């Protein structure tokens, strides 16, 4: 994990991602939000979970935001960009982060059941993979990000 704290732009992006997560909650989706920042720190794209509303198993917030950023940049590589997300990415999302060559990832809550950036797996820093290793800043506003998830699942039980 990185010792470089999130920048003001990255903290603003996490607030935007949390608002996206709230919108997902209101739509009946697991409340996860994501933002891709450009090299200048400006927002390129946002995403929120949309698996239920889109009937798409790949409709994770990270995938939604990364697809839109790649489309807008007309480039499958997001060199110089940063992904900011409210929940630790899963295996699928970690694979896409590597494929997009995102050099920096910021996330809020840890996912002790399916996380692939340090909790269950650590795909981003697995030296056996032929991708550059992204810098990861974990646990930013973790309690707030986790609380939204806990609230969502409390309504489902």
Q: What is the mean pLDDT of the chain?
A: 96
Does the annotation list 90 as a binding residue?
A: yes
Does the annotation list 93 as a binding residue?
A: yes
Domain 8-151 has CATH 3.40.140.10: yes
Q: Could you list the active site residues? A: 62
* Residue 60 to residues 3, 49, 93, 130, Cα–Cα distance (Å): 27, 5, 8, 24
pTM: 0.96
Per-residue pLDDT at 130: 86
92-145 per-position pLDDT tens digit: 999 999 999 999 999 999 999 999 999 999 999 998 888 889 999 999 999 999
Per-residue pLDDT at 80: 97
Q: From the centroid of its chain, how far is CA 64?
A: 10
Per-residue pLDDT at 45: 98
Does the annotation list 81 as a binding residue?
A: no
Percent of the chain with pLDDT over 70: 99
Residue pair 4/135 in contact by the 8 Å Cβ criterion: yes
Average pLDDT over residues 57-66: 98
Which residue ranges make up each domain of the chain?
Answer: 8-151
Q: How far apart are CA 57 and CA 152, in angstroms?
A: 19
Question: Residue 1: is its pLDDT beyond 80?
Answer: no
């Amino acid at each position: 994990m990185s010792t470089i704290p999130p920048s003001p732009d990255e903290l603003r992006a996490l607030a935007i991602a949390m608002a996206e997560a709230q919108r997902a909650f209101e739509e009946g989706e697991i409340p996860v939000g994501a933002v891709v920042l450009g090299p200048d720190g400006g927002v390129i794209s946002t995403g929120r979970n949309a698996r239920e509303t889109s009937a798409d198993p790949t409709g994770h917030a990270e995938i939604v935001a990364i697809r839109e950023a790649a489309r807008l940049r007309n480039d499958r590589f997001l060199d110089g960009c940063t992904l900011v997300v409210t929940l630790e990415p899963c295996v699928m999302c970690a694979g896409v982060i590597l494929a997009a060559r995102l050099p920096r990832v910021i996330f809020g809550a840890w996912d002790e059941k399916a996380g692939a950036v340090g909790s269950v797996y650590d795909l981003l820093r697995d030296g056996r993979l032929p991708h550059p290793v992204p810098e990861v800043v974990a646990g930013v506003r973790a309690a707030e990000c986790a609380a939204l998830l806990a609230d969502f699942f409390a309504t489902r039980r």
